[in-house]
Amino acid sequence: MSKKINTIISQLKKLKAENYRRDFLLTWEKSTDDLQQIFLVAEALRQLREKNVSTRCFDSGLAISNFRDNSTRTRFSFASAANLLGLEVQDLDEKTSQIAHGETVRETANMISFMADFIGIRDDMFLGEGDKYQREVGKALDEGYMEGVLEQRPGIINLQSDVDHPTQSMSDMLHLITHFGGIENLKGKKIAMTWAYSPSYGKPLSVPQGVIGLMTRFGMHVDLAYPKGYNLIPEIEKLAAQQAKINGGSFRKVSGMDDAFQNADVVYPKSWAPFSVMQERTNLLLNKDIKGLDALEKRCLENNAKHTDWECTEEKMKLTKNGDALYLHCLPADISSVSCKQGEVQASVFERYKVPLFKQASYKPYIIAAMMMNYQFSHPEKVIQKMLERDNKRIQF
């Protein structure tokens, strides 16, 4: 183990990363070295924990979680990451806080941060609002710290916004790095990010946007496929194309699932709501227009039903490279004949990839913990070295 950790430490020393005291909101705001630092620290933490070495680098402190939408994997991953480093987690329930009585963002941000080290925020319901809210919290924390209200300025980690889901896409990529034997081996690999049919509507755009926004940074060939009208935020599609050109990969928008799957090394069939629908839905939600939301849902489900053939099947998987592409999903997937009558993926495909899918999800606690460490410590490699030398056992007996 020490040989692997020492290799990671050596690689970290060579990076010119700038994650220290910088929030993690969008992957494309980070340099390649910033991203690689997180991948390396995450892998080091995973190696240490597997060998029963304690990775606690905090004696006390709080990690505040603010989930403004439902969550299972990310909620527990955030809690696991905080505990891994020695922090306790406190959930902010806006329904039972003074926010329900009109407390401002600035006031809330400061009141929850007196002894907090991190704030994780999920806000993906309102297009044009989630990323904006996270930045508003950040400005309030800057102000509180500069004016001496806060002894320290907590770091913000985006646990999913309307724009990006960085802890998900970074976990996806660490899974790919491990699967293909190194980040350098991702260059030239093809990934198909495709829409897939779901018997529900309103699923955020941030997962596919996060995937195309990150995978184009590392020389991959990214195909984005969706039925007519199901486009993502136009600026992010444009960003993906620009990044692919700069980094020696490619970015194509194709009209069919079969085209995207053709000779792909990785496939990621996932449902999402059209950009225009999310805009309309946001306005209806903000205006609390229940009748309007019901009408929108009915219209969208009828439109979805026109594309039931957008399903990840055994036949489509045969189109991939050697018929053996790696299947990804952020979970939970809509599994045909299991969780729904017809959905995103055929039951046999999902069952065949069940173990890799669960492994894909297992990287998220380490990615979040790495984001925390890199925010808190200017030289995380030194902290990892001390953990290795200290060799405290997590389980004592």
Q: Minimal CA–CA distance to 203: which of 336, 297, 341?
A: 297
pLDDT at 2: 79
Mean pLDDT of 19-24: 98
Q: Domains plus CATH for the chain?
A: 2-164+364-390 (3.40.50.1370), 167-361 (3.40.50.1370)
* Residue 222 token pair: 């990214």
CA 249 to chain centre: 22
* Residue 1 token pair: 């183990």
pLDDT at 285: 86
pTM recorded for the entire structure: 0.96
Through-space distance between the first and last CA atoms of the chain, rounded to whole angstroms: 21
Summarize pLDDT for 248-268 with one digit per residue, the tens.
999 999 999 999 999 999 999
Summarize pLDDT for 50-103 with one digit per residue, the tens.
999 999 999 999 999 999 888 889 999 999 999 999 999 999 977 655 555 567
Summarize pLDDT for 132-169 with one digit per residue, the tens.
999 999 999 999 999 999 999 999 999 999 999 999 99
Tokens 């926010």 belong to: 99
* Range from 25-39, 270-284, 286-300 that averages highest in pLDDT: 25-39
* DSSP string of 284-336, one letter each residue: HHHTT-HHHHHHHHHHHHHHHGGGTT--B-HHHHTTSGGG-PEE---S---BB
